[in-house]
Amino acid sequence: MSVWLAKLMGPIILLLALSMIWNPRGLLEISRQFIVDRPLILISGVLATLAGLSIVNLHNVWLWSWEVVITLFGWALLIGGSLRVLAPGLVGDLGEEMLKWEGVTRWVGCLWALIGAYLTWNGYL
């Protein structure tokens, strides 16, 4: 199960990270539009909660290995998605504060790229 999830999650995380690195302004503009659209926040929360529950129920592995990264992502999706469902306004307000740190986008993208590459490596090699 771990390898399959790494093959699924790794390339997607890596792709999003590359977008953050190469097009931070475009991604920030999309984010600005997203945080003012409360119905979209709610729908994304439902989808993130669904994804998080799926991962947590199928892969709740707490071992000191690369597989724990998948479990951590599952829990992060579950918690983040639940917050979007329960308090879409709060998430929008927090998002506005986070968007003030424009210079951080590339650095966070680099971190996400490392995580995505790590999962992709473990999934495919």
The pLDDT-based confidence of 6 (bands split at 50, 70, 90) is very high
pLDDT tens-digit series, residues 65-90:
999 999 999 999 999 999 999 998 88
Give the burial class of 1: count Cβ atoms within 10 A of its Cβ; 0-12 exposed, 13-18 middle, 19 or more buried.
exposed
Crossing angle of helices 88-98 and 38-58, rounded to 10°: 100
The pLDDT-based confidence of 105 (bands split at 50, 70, 90) is confident
- Average pLDDT, integer, range 94-105: 82
pLDDT tens-digit series, residues 15-53:
999 999 999 888 888 988 988 888 999 999 999 999 999
Is 20:106 a contact under the CB 8 Å cutoff?
yes
The one-letter amino acid code at 84 reads R
